[in-house]
Amino acid sequence: MTIKANPIYISSKKEAETFISKFDNFLLDCDGVIWLAENLIKGVPQFLDYLIENNKQFAFVTNNSSKSRDSYIEKFKNLGIKIQIPKNRIYTTSFSAVLELKTLNIHPGSKIWVLGDEGIEDELKDQGYIPLGGSNSLLDKSFDPENPLFTIDDEVKAIIVGSTNEFNFMRISTTLQYLMFKNKSLPFIGINSDRFYNGPNNLFLPAAGSICEIASYSSNRKYINVGKPSSVFAREILRDTGFNKHKTVMIGDTMSSDIRFGNYSHLGDGQGTLLVLSGVTKFDHLKTVLDNPNQFDDVESLIPRFYTDSLTKLITLLTETE
């Protein structure tokens, strides 16, 4: 099997400068790129300053829907990032879902059924929508066919399904009523297709995609995936920011979401992907993909055009003296 050329390892000042010069717009994943859990990755503030000083634009792109954009602004501050991060440069998948509602001509003021975390509800409220379901305490109860939430509100215009630690039979059962309502005609938006995430104590925990797939299978419906790696997410970001797709790069730590996201959307004319090895993906994993392409589905989409150790490494190279 022939795959595209091996990615370029950025290991010198010239290579770092060449990489930066290719792009005007930088999409940055958060966990594993900007921070690890609650710890800021060294050199990130200096890297952001470098982008600003060189007239580059940037935005933050995350598959996390559990927190609102306002929560992300607070986290940036708490981690010691002193530059002001504008809210309109933070793209969570809950905000992506809202942008998709607008694309579907579902306007603010509309009622939206939610199976997911409060981050989705917060973003809907922030944009003028009325979330139903979600964190409603009636959904925490054991299954009861007389639960009032089984009475369908025929003013609901769409369903959003995402991650929640409170997932239970009541939540999927009430959601299924809306998925089947009006001959399955209400738009079905899924926050992302992630199967699992790495939790505390080295636990593997089911992510939003797992819950979306349960809802999809139960209703025999496909969902609109508004998270990475879907090109829908990229379309919404590019439209909202006005970034030129041909001059945009995605920087992330996962091949299956971040790198696929950049490749599926053909960012930077197919050159717009940088994998950093500071998070989920380590060099051994990248090497396994490159050495054993037949073991992976759609392997070309997993391969970045560039890779480096971290943003720490990149800013060190960019600012080193000759």
Residue 29 labelled as part of a binding site? yes
Amino acid at 182: K
**Considering 24, 29, 117, 194, which one is annotated as catalytic?**
29
Active site residue 194: no
Task: Answer whether the bond into residue 229 is a cis peptide, omega within 30°.
Answer: yes
Q: Whole-angstrom Cα distance, residue 91 to residue 258?
A: 13
Q: Is position 31 annotated as part of the catalytic site?
A: yes
280 phi/psi in degrees, rounded to 5:
-65, -45
Q: Decide: 20 and 317 in contact? Cβ < 8 Å.
A: no
| CA 317/CA 17 separation, integer angstroms | 8
Asked if 98 contacts 129 with a C-beta cutoff of 8 angstroms, the reply is yes
Q: What is the dihedral of CA 190, 129, 94, 299, to 10 degrees?
A: 40
Residue 269 in marked binding region: no
- Alpha-carbon distance 54 to 318, whole Å? 12
Q: Using CA atoms in the order 62, 66, 67, 72, what is the torsion angle rounded to 10 degrees?
A: -30
The residues, any chain, with a CB within 8 Å of residue 116's CB and separated by 6 or more, are 65, 94, 134, 160, 161, 162, 163, 164, 191, 208, 211
Q: One of 24, 31, 194, 258 is an active-site residue; which one?
A: 31
Question: How far, in Å, CA of 288 to CA of 314, rounded?
Answer: 24
Catalytic residues: 29, 31
Binding residues for substrate: 228
Annotated binding-site members = 29, 31, 228, 253
The binding site for Mg(2+) consists of 29, 31, 253
